[in-house]
Amino acid sequence: MSANDARNTDSSRSRRQARLLGWSRWTTGALLSLIIAMPIVTSAQDRQLQLVSTAWSPFTNGPGQPRFALDLVEEALGRIGVTAKTVIVEEAKLTPSLLNGEFDGSAALWKDKERERALIYSQPYLENRLILVGRHGSDVSAASLADLAGKRIALVAGYSYGEAVKTPGGPIFVGSKSVEDSVTRVINLEVDYTLMDDLVIQYLVRNHADATRRLLAFGSTPLLTRSLYLAVQRSLPDAESVISRFNAELRGMIADRSYHRLLHLDWILGDVDGDGRREYVPHDDQAGPRPPERSYELFAAARPTMERGKTRRFYFGGKIYQGWSTVPDRHKVRTSPNPGASSQLITIFTFSF
């Protein structure tokens, strides 16, 4: 080998060694980056929240009881890698336990100025809408509690109904043991009315249609409407991230029918595409030959006035249709005699007529 060839060989060997060294350094750096990042990812996926709430059936309750709001929040949080456990406490302990930081937040909270100083709130995801319910033939046209002065109204003892039910000179509130007990007292003329959440009325109309038409009358104007929120402590290091990611899941849960399943509903009226207009969304894409006579409005308090008189919009198969006549026939068949989640509700309430 010539001296020139030897120099070329040494030069080539040096370049190969340099490339190998560079590759080794890059690989080591990449592996270190992955190792450093892994605990962060694992931490986010393993995030756990200790939450608190009061009992308000069917929205909040302990395990094994109706707890629609808690189920919905836990589902949405689970999609973003956060688990939650809720402790049920008495109303008097709720706000103090949140303000002193005993819990990370609450999955079902009304807005309150004192709480807002300590908590970050999500978008509203449900509403408590209390409707006047009387015996068949009674006047249920009252637009406010003030219109019911002197009337006896059954309310479930232990539930928090807010300051609205404490107005002097208003109706007389009578404690009852449960929603079912309140209805029984109305039917037996022990009280004039009860206040019932719209979600429970949906259940009654769907599962006890004949009895409700024969025995009960429902108002059309909510006498009390309060939005429900997820709220977490501002002091949590990832509080804003948890809330923003939770908010992002809500619309998708309407479109993929998670709301229907978790609230045990056949039809929901909500904004699927985020354009400010709402669509009728069935529990699946085979909804039957007729449009719904009754549907559950997710946010009646925020109903756009421009919707009045407009053609109803329906959501099937990922598409929005203007008017029932434009919905394809393939969506107007029913796949089973008892569609939707209505049949799942049979064991949740025990009304007897």
The per-residue pLDDT for range 96-119, each reduced to its tens digit, is 999 999 999 999 998 888 899 999
Question: Residues in the chain, how many?
Answer: 353
Q: CA 104 from chain center: how many Å?
A: 19
- Total number of domains in the chain: 3
Q: Are strands 224-233 and 279-282 parallel, antiparallel or unpaired?
A: unpaired
Let me know whether 140 and 70 are in one domain. no
Per-residue pLDDT tens over the stretch 242-253: 999 999 999 889
| Domain housing 242 | 45-126+234-251
Strand partners, 33: none
69 shares its domain with 50: yes
**Residue 21, in any domain of the structure:** no
CB 272 within 8 A of CB 254: yes
If you average pLDDT over each of 15-29, 60-74, 298-312, which comes out highest? 60-74
Mean pLDDT of 23-41: 45
Q: Decide if 56 contacts 160 (C-beta within 8 A).
A: yes
Torsion of CA 35, 39, 45, 47, to 10 degrees: 180
Query: Comparing 352 with 210, which gets the higher pLDDT?
Result: 210
Helix, coil or strand: residue 293: coil
Residue 28 lies in a domain: no
- Give the closest residue to 313 by CA, choosing from 283, 284, 271: 271
Looking at residue 19, what is its pLDDT?
Answer: 55
Integer Cα distance of 109 and 123 in angstroms = 11
Answer yes or no: do 110 and 59 share one domain: yes
Q: Is residue 271 part of a domain?
A: yes
Choose between 57 and 193: higher pLDDT.
Answer: 193
Give a yes or no: residue 96 inside a domain: yes
Range with top average pLDDT, 2-6, 62-66, 72-76: 72-76
For residue 24, is it within any domain?
Answer: no
226, 242, 269 - which closes a domain: 226
Residue 29 lies in a domain: no
Q: Give tens-digit pLDDT for 146-193.
A: 899 999 999 987 666 766 677 677 899 999 988 889 999 999 999 999
Residues 282 and 203 in one domain: no
Q: Based on the domain organization, do 221 and 245 belong to the same domain?
A: no
| Domain at 143, CATH number | 3.40.190.10
Give domain status of residue 200, yes or no.
yes
What is the rounded average pLDDT of the residues 296-320? 75
| Tokens 């009754």 sit on residue | 294
| 198, burial (CB in 10 Å: exposed 0-12, middle 13-18, buried 19+) | middle
Report whether pLDDT(214) > 80.
Answer: yes
Same domain, 118 and 141: no
Instruction: Give mean pLDDT, residues 276-285.
Output: 91
Same domain, yes or no, for 137 and 217?
Answer: yes
Within this chain, do residues 110 and 181 fall inside the same structural domain, yes or no?
no
Position 335 scores a pLDDT of 67
Residue 36 lies in a domain: no
Between 92 and 85, the more confident residue is 85
- The per-residue pLDDT for 133 is 97
CB 253 within 8 A of CB 75: yes
- 247 with 102, same domain: the answer is yes
- Judge if 329 and 276 occupy the same domain: yes
Cα–Cα distance between 271 and 81 in angstroms, integer?
A: 25
Residues 119 and 151 occupy one common structural domain:
no
Mean pLDDT of the chain: 82
Structure confidence at residue 162 (pLDDT): 66
Q: How far is CA 80 from CA 153, 233, 243, 254, 259, in A?
A: 42, 18, 10, 16, 17
Tell me: do 213 and 163 sit in the same domain. Answer: yes
